Amino acid sequence: MVVYVIVGLVVLAGLVFAYRTFGGASGGTVDAGALLRTVLGAARDAASELSELAAAPPLAGAGGPSAPNPAKLLRRRLTGLAQQLETVDVMSLDEHDAGPHALLAVAVDELVWAAGMCADDAFSAGEGMRTAVAALESHATSCLHDAARILG
């Protein structure tokens, strides 16, 4: 019986260590204004990269099967930006930062979807997918412009 208690405590300690290692319950406060400006800059860069990818999509299989797909890499970066936005405690934001946070969250989400569509093999041949990517990119760019205007 004592062995089970000891094993249980060791497993519990391992879980707590893993939770803390991967950033769970971090005690640091996030400077929302700085984070929003950082995400805004990175999202603008990603939007321009997405427009280049959508204008001239890479051919399927170009560079061999092991070559990285630039649209998939872009989607991963955008997903990271979305995760950064999730670290902000929305309830503690003032009116000045709440609007840009919502606009950035929508813009990054739409850019993630658009990058995912560009990464699909059927993107080159599908006119409907191109139209959807253009609409998502247009609305995301509009949200980024409005967020930049509010943030100053």
DSSP state of 66: T
pLDDT at site 25: 53
Three-state SS at 113: helix
Q: How far is CA 50 from the centre of its chain?
A: 13
Kind and range of the H or E run holding 94: none
- Of the candidates 105, 109, 133, 107, the residue with the CA atom closest to the CA atom of residue 119: 133
Q: Would you say residue 131 has pLDDT above 60?
A: yes
- The half-sphere exposure of 149 on its side-chain side, counting CA atoms within 13 A, is 7
Tokens found for residue 9? 């405590």
- Of the candidates 104, 55, 48, the residue with the CA atom closest to the CA atom of residue 81: 104
pTM value?
0.75
Any idea of the CA torsion for 41, 42, 46, 48, to the nearest 10 degrees?
Answer: 20
What does the pLDDT look like over 26-54, one tens digit per residue?
A: 556 668 888 999 999 999 999 999 998 88
pLDDT at site 14: 82
Rg of the Cα trace of the chain?
20
Tokens found for residue 94? 């003032």
CA distances from 26 to 17, 19, 23, 72, 151 (A): 12, 10, 6, 29, 27
